[in-house]
C-alpha cells in the first residue's frame, strides 16, 4: 500500500482514503473496531484526533491482508500481532509467502473456523443458489458437513466470486473445469521440482521446499498472465 504521509503520520480520514485503493470496504468504524479489540493503538493529537504512525499503518495493512487473503478470525490475527512476528513479515517482498507458511499450521488446527455455511457464502458474495450448487457439483470448491450443515472452505470464496463475475459473460461452471485441469498440471510440475526437498527428513529442507513451491507458484502465475496478455494483444491487433 502506498501512502502519502505527513511526518510519517496520517489522520483516520486520510488513512481510509489510502486504504480504500486496496480495501474498498474499509471504513472509520472498521478502524475504530480494530482499536477497540486492541489490535492497533493510534496516538491522539492535541485536537483529540487519532494519529496513525508508520508502524500503525503497516500493522493495519497486514491485518486487512490476513482477513482478505487468508480469512482469519481476529483472535488468530491478534495472536500473530502479539507475538511480534508481524514485523518479520514486513521486512521483504517475501513477507506474505512467509506468513502463508506460518498460517498453514493455524488453519490446520482450527478447521471449523476456516469453513462458512453455504447460505452465508451465497449471501455474502451475492450469487445465485444455482451457481453455488453448480460449483459444488463440479467439485470446484471444497466443502464439508458439520452438524448436518454444508460448509464451504472460506479459502475458496475467491473462486465463487470469480465464477459469479464470469457468469456475466455467459461463462458456465463447466467451462471452469478447463482452468482447474490446467492448475492441476501446474501443481504437479511444481511438486516434481520440490519433491526431493519435501520428502527430506530434515525440517529445514522441508521448509525450504515449501518456500520454493510458493515462489514457483507465484512465478508460474505471472508467466501465465504475461502469455495470456500477449495472445490477447495479438487478437485485439488483428481485429482492428
pLDDT tens digits along 155-199:
788 889 899 999 999 999 999 999 999 999 999 999 999 999 999
Euclidean distance between CA atoms 19 and 1, whole angstroms: 7
Highest mean pLDDT among 33-37, 45-49, 74-78, 190-194: 190-194
Look up the pTM and report it.
Answer: 0.51
Cell, residue 74: 481476529
Residues 6 or more apart from 101 whose CB is under 8 A from it?
A: 207, 210, 211, 214
Q: What is the pLDDT of residues 75-123, one digit of tens each?
A: 777 877 777 666 666 654 444 545 554 554 444 333 445 778 888 888 8
SS3 track for 35-46: HHCCCCCCEECC
The pLDDT-based confidence of 52 (bands split at 50, 70, 90) is: very high
> Is pLDDT of 74 > 80?
no
What's the mean pLDDT in 16-21?
90
The pLDDT-based confidence of 24 (bands split at 50, 70, 90) is: confident
Q: What is the pLDDT of residues 131-146, one digit of tens each?
A: 989 998 888 988 887 7
pLDDT attached to residue 142: 85
Q: Which domains does the chain have, with CATH numbers?
A: 10-95 (1.10.1660.10), 110-171 (no CATH), 175-240 (no CATH)
* CA-closest candidate to residue 151, choices 108, 117, 114: 117
Euclidean distance between CA atoms 45 and 164, whole angstroms: 45
CA distances, 63 to each of 49, 78, 103 (Å)? 22, 9, 13
Euclidean distance between CA atoms 40 and 15, whole angstroms: 14
pLDDT attached to residue 4: 43
pLDDT attached to residue 231: 95
Q: What is the pLDDT of residues 202-229, one digit of tens each?
A: 989 999 999 999 999 999 999 999 999 9
> Is pLDDT of 5 > 50?
no
pLDDT attached to residue 3: 42
Amino acid at each position: 500500500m502506498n501512502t502519502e504521509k505527513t511526518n510519517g503520520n496520517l489522520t483516520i480520514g486520510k488513512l481510509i482514503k489510502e486504504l480504500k485503493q486496496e480495501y474498498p470496504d474499509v471504513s472509520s468504524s472498521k478502524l475504530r473496531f480494530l482499536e477497540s479489540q486492541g489490535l492497533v493503538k493510534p496516538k491522539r493529537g492535541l485536537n483529540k484526533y487519532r494519529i496513525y504512525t508508520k508502524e500503525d499503518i503497516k500493522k493495519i495493512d497486514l491485518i486487512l491482508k490476513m482477513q482478505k487473503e487468508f480469512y482469519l478470525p481476529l483472535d488468530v490475527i491478534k495472536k500473530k500481532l502479539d507475538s511480534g512476528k508481524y514485523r518479520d513479515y514486513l521486512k521483504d517482498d517475501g513477507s506474505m509467502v512467509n506468513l502463508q507458511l506460518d498460517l498453514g499450521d493455524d488453519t490446520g488446527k482450527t478447521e471449523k473456523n476456516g469453513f462458512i455455511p453455504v447460505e452465508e457464502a451465497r449471501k455474502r458474495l451475492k450469487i445465485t443458489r444455482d451457481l453455488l450448487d453448480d460449483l459444488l457439483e463440479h467439485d470446484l470448491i471444497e466443502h464439508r458437513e458439520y452438524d448436518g450443515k454444508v460448509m464451504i472452505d472460506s479459502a475458496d470464496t475467491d473462486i465463487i466470486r470469480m465464477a459469479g463475475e464470469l457468469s456475466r459473460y455467459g461463462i458456465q461452471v463447466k467451462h471452469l473445469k478447463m482452468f482447474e485441469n490446467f492448475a492441476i498440471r501446474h501443481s504437479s510440475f511444481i511438486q516434481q521440482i520440490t519433491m526431493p526437498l519435501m520428502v527430506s527428513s530434515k525440517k529445514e529442507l522441508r521448509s525450504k521446499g515449501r518456500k520454493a513451491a510458493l515462489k514457483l507458484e507465484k512465478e508460474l502465475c505471472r508467466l501465465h498472465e504475461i502469455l495470456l496478455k500477449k495472445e490477447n494483444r495479438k487478437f485485439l491487433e488483428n481485429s482492428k
